[in-house]
């Protein structure tokens, strides 16, 4: 999964991983980020809201893209980091006010707020947490047309602002190697996310 530059026989199929919006380019970190994001959303939905039905195709992906065991390990680690976000009642209350049919500029403003003080895995999880909440709201409020837009906005932000940092960590597997630090960075991310959610609530 690391950004090794290999051009193996399955490269063409991997390029399809970033499906979800026209702003996405064929960058390996972004492509893998699309797989990780969709895996994260699906796992969260299956655990927290099993009655909500959605597939990888609904999220702009392919039916077989979740078979990569390394992707599954990364998703599991991100979900572990997200546990602290789930237990933050103030955060949960704030994100419940977010509208599913938001505008792209509002989404990008909140995303920039999350990363105001720098990048770490906790803040990346906060971005995924935001995307998950918006997608869940879209599914339950019948705004299905915006789901792929949300995926696209996340990937666009990763491509423009986060992908270089992820590459410096050795790719998405870097989150696995940072397991000893994840609780610390999550606390920081939670604070940043609350600030972003407050901004969002006041700007609506």
pTM: 0.75
pLDDT tens for each residue of 23-34: 444 489 999 999
pLDDT in tens, 83-119: 776 676 665 665 565 566 677 887 888 888 888 888 8
State the average pLDDT over residues 70-79. Answer: 90
- pLDDT confidence of residue 6: 42
In sign, the C-alpha dihedral spanning 28, 25, 153, 41 is negative
115-170, pLDDT tens digit by residue? Answer: 888 888 888 988 898 899 889 888 888 888 889 899 999 999 999 999 999 999 99
**What is the domain partition of the chain in residue ranges?**
23-174
Residue 9 has pLDDT above 60, yes or no: no
Q: Where are the alpha helices (DSSP H) in the chain?
A: 11-15, 28-48, 69-87, 89-95, 104-114, 121-140, 147-157, 163-168, 174-177, 182-203
Q: Which two tokens stand for residue 185?
A: 């960075």
pLDDT of residue 50: 84
The angle at the Cα of 167, spanning 162 to 171, to the nearest 5 degrees, equals 105
What is the average pLDDT score of the chain? 75
Q: Span 58-81, mean pLDDT?
A: 86
Domain spanning 23-174 has what CATH number? 1.10.437.10
Residue 11 has pLDDT above 50, yes or no: no
Per-residue confidence band for 21, with pLDDT thresholds at 50, 70 and 90: very low
**Which of 98, 94, 70 has the alpha carbon at shortest distance from 173?**
70
What's the rounded Cα separation, in Å, for the pair 200 and 99?
Answer: 10
pLDDT band at 66 (very low <50, low <70, confident <90, very high): low
């Amino acid at each position: 999964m690391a950004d090794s530059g290999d051009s193996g026989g399955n490269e063409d199929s991997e390029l399809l991983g970033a499906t979800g919006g026209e702003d996405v380019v064929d960058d390996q970190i972004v492509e893998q980020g699309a797989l990780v994001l969709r895996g994260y959303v699906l796992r969260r939905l299956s655990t927290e809201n099993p009655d909500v039905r959605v597939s990888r195709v609904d999220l702009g992906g392919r039916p077989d893209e979740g078979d990569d065991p390394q992707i599954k390990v990364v998703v599991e680690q991100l979900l572990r980091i997200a546990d602290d976000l789930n237990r933050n009642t103030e955060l949960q209350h704030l994100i419940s006010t977010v509208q599913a049919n938001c505008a792209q500029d509002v989404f990008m403003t909140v995303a920039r707020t999350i990363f105001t003080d720098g990048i770490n895995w906790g803040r990346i999880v906060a971005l995924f947490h935001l995307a998950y909440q918006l997608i869940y709201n879209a599914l339950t409020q019948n705004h299905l047309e915006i789901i792929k837009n949300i995926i696209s906005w996340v990937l666009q932000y990763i491509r423009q602002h986060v992908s270089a940092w992820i590459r410096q960590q050795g790719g998405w597997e870097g989150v696995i190697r940072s397991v000893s630090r994840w609780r610390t960075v999550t606390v920081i991310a939670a604070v940043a996310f609350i600030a972003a959610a407050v901004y969002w609530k006041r700007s609506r």
